[in-house]
């Protein structure tokens, strides 16, 4: 594959360098030296490439080492920039000036904004800074800022995002750090002042354009579900989607159309290429073709607010247009690899984001698997052939994205093949119709905009209807699936070997597929046997709740305060992924007595005795979980020197601090799970 796609050979060493830096997790003491060393390797590599111009083997080795060092260096520089953001401010400061970067996104009780911190008040002096911050504004605020606005925030503090404290829990801190965001802040209605008279910077123009597009769509689309669908597809904002509507698209495997992605750019590019094909063949007209393609793709990216997925797809389509116009031989994976190379060089941490992985996997799947699937059947009827070709696109994309989807989301839509062709077909008309609405609005052709809006509403109703079909079918969405990183890698190896088997039709690849399948089956069997043979007792760090879980095989026992069983949001966020990873099928609940009763509760396992609340005079358990603010006598504490006291998250902040003070004075061992994380017994 590398012979016909040489750019892949440039991408792999860069990926290796990025992954090496992330894996090593170097301490601040070694970081400068490692970056100087990698910089030196890059310099010497460039010299070696020039010196060994006629020695292909040496050049190949030097090039790989140089690009690996370049990936390491780029990631290290990005890491240092992030550490500078951490050290530039502190949690003690309370007055800030921000510039809003994105429109507000509706959450449960807040609106979420991405902002840039411009200055902070320190010792009565304003200190200039430039730091990315995620703001959560209370939904009680009467007037919200727009993209580009300057706001003053008083009497609030910056906070580090919460880190994952439980096994299998979503790591919100790591997620934001991959996006370059080190700090978050909650802002209430008394703390916010929108500053008037500030200039709108050019960097926020795309978001302003997006806001105007949103207002135009809301004005012309009266059906809430049609408006929510179009807004999600065109602007990438889902806050106006009904929950049942979103669930339908998830169950049908068509949720990808709700994200502004390469699919939408590809649909737009396909139409433009077909309409402007005569220009591309003309010696002079080809420059007009390139200019028009570039302006249209750039305009569409502006309307959507310049999300990373659209930028990636626009670059790829523009490169395709260049190769077509100048009659270069097109290898899709070359273009894909070049795009990934430069994007990762600018932002190495994009490699770890789900959107980057899914978008490139989908495009790679279409480029590799679609030609094979398209020619799988010889269909004479042009309408049936068109239907199969659209279906083949969905199949190809789904094949190469399902390992990543299952790894992150633990579910898989079983009937994606049934609905995807219709939804993708209708998506084409929805995108063109929506753009027609915006262009008509811009040109003040209100009647024309209304007519297009009528057509878009009909198409949106049809799309919603098709997406709803799998929700009424058995096993429409397979849930609680789990594969680990090793299994993801093995699945991709199998997919690539299958591609080579069907394209080259060589018996060697069939044997390789069988060998990797055997390795995959062996690995999953070992994992399954290990999960059945291992029991786990964990005290979880869940705010406002006391939760212990005991797992054995596919069964779990949850001992918790009664309120936790009703708090489905806390269960889904803190426990659901953990149980899915262990393959838990049945859950037995045990309600703990109310903490106000201060009743003693003893939980015994073969290796651990855990006491709730009361410290017995006769028994000295290994662990005491403290749920009540009533402090025991110091004499009794002094006899429990081998007991570990775990402070329950049910306790308030001040009560936990008082307990810490008492336990330190009595020289007892203790642990606060909200600081140190869950405790495994």
Per mean pLDDT, which range of 224-233, 317-326, 433-442, 649-658 is the poorest? 317-326
**pLDDT at 493 > cutoff 90:** yes
Residue 233's φ and ψ, nearest 5 degrees, are -70, -40
> Which is nearest to 69 in space by CA: 41, 50, 89?
41
Please report the pLDDT score of residue 330 as a whole number.
53
What length does the chain have?
681
> Which is nearest to 545 in space by CA: 429, 627, 474?
627
Per mean pLDDT, which range of 248-257, 466-475, 593-602 is the poorest? 593-602
Percent of the chain with pLDDT over 70: 89
Band of pLDDT at residue 636, cut at 50, 70 and 90: low
**pLDDT at 3 > cutoff 70:** no
Over range 614-626, report the average pLDDT. Answer: 66
680: helix, strand or coil: strand
B/e letters for 622-660, b = 16+ CB within 10 Å, e = fewer, are: ebbbbbbeeebeeeebeebeebbbbbbbbbeeebbeebe
**pLDDT at 143 > cutoff 80:** yes
Over range 356-375, report the average pLDDT. Answer: 84
Domains of the chain by residue range: 7-87, 95-200, 207-356+421-474, 485-533, 535-680
Helix intervals (H) in 305-381: 308-325, 332-346, 354-374
User: What pLDDT digit, counting tens, does each position of 170-197 carry?
Assistant: 999 999 998 889 999 999 989 999 987 6
> Side-chain half-sphere of 559: how many Cα atoms within 13 Å?
17
Please report the pLDDT score of residue 53 as a whole number.
65
Please report the pLDDT score of residue 71 as a whole number.
94
**pLDDT at 642 > cutoff 70:** yes
Per mean pLDDT, which range of 137-151, 258-272, 403-417, 453-467 is the poorest? 258-272
* Spatial contact of 545 and 650, defined as CB atoms under 8 Å apart: yes
> Which is nearest to 434 in space by CA: 228, 205, 293?
228
Over range 226-241, report the average pLDDT. Answer: 85
144: helix, strand or coil: coil
User: What pLDDT digit, counting tens, does each position of 57-116 carry?
Assistant: 778 888 899 999 999 999 999 999 998 888 888 777 778 999 998 888 888 889 999 999
Longest dimension (CA), the chain: 96
573: helix, strand or coil: helix
Average per-residue pLDDT for the chain: 84
More confident residue, 681 or 444: 444
β 679-680/535-540 pair status = antiparallel
Dist CA 161 CA 170 (whole Å): 12
Over range 120-135, report the average pLDDT. Answer: 89
Dist CA 122 CA 391 (whole Å): 60
Q: How far is CA 581 from CA 406, 528, 553, 578, 678, in A?
A: 11, 11, 12, 5, 17
What DSSP string describes 603-614? Answer: EE-SS-EEEES-
More confident residue, 566 or 305: 566
Helix intervals (H) in 53-92: 56-88
* Spatial contact of 147 and 103, defined as CB atoms under 8 Å apart: yes
Over range 618-628, report the average pLDDT. Answer: 73
In CATH, what class is 95-200? Answer: mainly beta
More confident residue, 620 or 245: 245
Q: What residues pair up with 609 in beta bridges, in sequence order?
A: 604
User: What pLDDT digit, counting tens, does each position of 449-459 carry?
Assistant: 999 999 999 99
Over range 629-657, report the average pLDDT. Answer: 77
Per mean pLDDT, which range of 161-165, 257-261, 514-518, 542-546 is the poorest? 257-261
Residues 6+ apart with CB under 8 A from 496: 368
Residue 327's φ and ψ, nearest 5 degrees, are 55, 40
400: helix, strand or coil: helix
Dist CA 173 CA 270 (whole Å): 39
* 11 DSSP 8-state letter: H
Dist CA 76 CA 570 (whole Å): 36
Band of pLDDT at residue 606, cut at 50, 70 and 90: low
Over range 662-673, report the average pLDDT. Answer: 86
Euclidean distance between the first and the last CA atom of the chain, given in angstroms as a whole number? 50
Please report the pLDDT score of residue 592 as a whole number.
83
What DSSP string describes 455-513? Answer: HHHHHHHHHHHHHHGGGGSTT-EE-S----HHHHHHHHHHHHHHHHHHHH--HHHHHHH
Please report the pLDDT score of residue 621 as a whole number.
64
* Spatial contact of 537 and 569, defined as CB atoms under 8 Å apart: no
């Amino acid at each position: 594959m590398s012979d016909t796609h040489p750019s892949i050979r440039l991408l792999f060493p860069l990926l290796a360098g990025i992954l090496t830096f992330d894996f090593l997790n170097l301490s601040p003491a070694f970081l400068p030296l490692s970056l100087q060393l990698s910089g030196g390797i890059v310099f010497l590599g460039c010299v070696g490439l020039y010196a060994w111009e006629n020695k292909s083997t040496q050049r190949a080795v030097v090039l790989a080492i140089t690009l690996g060092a370049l990936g390491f260096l780029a990631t290290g520089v990005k890491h240092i920039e992030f550490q500078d953001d951490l050290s530039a401010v502190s949690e003690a400061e309370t007055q800030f000036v921000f510039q809003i970067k994105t429109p507000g996104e509706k959450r449960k009780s807040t609106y979420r904004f991405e902002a840039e911190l411009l200055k902070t008040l320190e010792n009565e002096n304003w200190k200039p800074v430039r730091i990315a911050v995620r703001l959560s504004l209370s939904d009680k605020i009467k007037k919200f800022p727009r993209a580009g606005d300057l706001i003053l925030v008083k009497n609030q503090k910056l906070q580090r995002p919460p880190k994952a404290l439980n096994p299998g829990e979503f790591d919100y801190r790591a997620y934001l750090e991959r996006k370059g965001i080190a700090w978050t802040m909650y802002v209430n209605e008394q703390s916010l002042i929108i500053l008037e008279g500030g200039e709108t910077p050019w960097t926020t123009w795309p978001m302003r354009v997006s806001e105007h597009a949103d207002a135009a769509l809301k004005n012309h689309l009266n059906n809430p579900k049609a408006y929510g669908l179009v807004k999600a597809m065109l602007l990438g904002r889902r806050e106006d989607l009904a929950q049942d509507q979103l669930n339908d698209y998830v169950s049908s495997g068509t949720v990808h159309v709700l994200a502004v992605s390469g699919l939408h750019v590809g649909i737009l590019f396909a139409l433009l290429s077909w309409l402007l094909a005569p220009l591309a063949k003309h010696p002079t007209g080809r420059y007009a073709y390139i200019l028009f393609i570039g302006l249209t793709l750039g305009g569409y990216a502006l309307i959507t607010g310049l999300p990373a997925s659209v930028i990636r797809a626009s670059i790829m389509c523009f490169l395709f247009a260049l190769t077509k116009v100048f009659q270069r031989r097109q290898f899709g994976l070359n273009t894909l690899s070049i795009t990934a190379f430069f994007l990762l060089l600018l932002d190495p941490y994009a490699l770890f984001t789900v959107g980057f992985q899914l978008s490139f996997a989908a495009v790679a799947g279409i480029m590799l698997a679609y030609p094979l699937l398209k020619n799988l059947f010889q269909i004479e009827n042009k309408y049936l052939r068109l239907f199969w070709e659209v279906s083949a696109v969905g199949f190809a994309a789904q094949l190469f994205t399902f390992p990543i989807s299952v790894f992150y989301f633990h579910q898989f839509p079983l009937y994606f093949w049934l609905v995807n062709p219709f939804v993708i077909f209708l998506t084409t008309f929805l995108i063109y119709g929506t753009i027609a609405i915006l262009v008509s609005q811009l040109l003040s052709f209100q009647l024309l905009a209304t007519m297009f809006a009528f057509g878009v509403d009909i198409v949106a109703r049809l799309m919603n209807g098709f997406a709803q079909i799998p929700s009424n079918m058995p096993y429409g969405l397979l849930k609680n699936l789990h594969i680990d990183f090793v299994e993801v890698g093995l699945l991709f190896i199998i997919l690539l070997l299958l591609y080579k088997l069907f394209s080259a039709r060589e018996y060697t690849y069939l044997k390789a597929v069988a060998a990797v399948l055997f390795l995959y089956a062996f690995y999953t069997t070992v994992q399954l046997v290990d999960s059945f043979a291992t029991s786990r007792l964990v005290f979880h760090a869940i705010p406002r709740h006391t939760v212990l879980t005991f797992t054995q095989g596919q069964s779990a026992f949850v001992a918790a305060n009664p309120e936790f069983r009703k708090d489905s949001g806390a269960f889904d966020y803190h426990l659901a992924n953990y149980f899915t990873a262990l393959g838990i099928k049945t859950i037995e609940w045990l309600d703990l007595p109310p903490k106000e009763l201060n009743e003693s509760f003893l939980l015994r396992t073969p290796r651990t005795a855990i006491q709730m609340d009361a410290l017995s005079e006769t028994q000295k358990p290994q662990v005491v979980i403290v749920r009540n603010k009533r402090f025991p006598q110091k004499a009794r504490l002094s006899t429990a020197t081998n007991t570990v006291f775990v402070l329950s998250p049910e306790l308030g902040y001040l009560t936990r601090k008082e307990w810490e003070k008492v336990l330190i004075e009595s020289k007892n061992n203790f642990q606060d799970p909200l600081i140190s994380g869950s405790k495994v017994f």
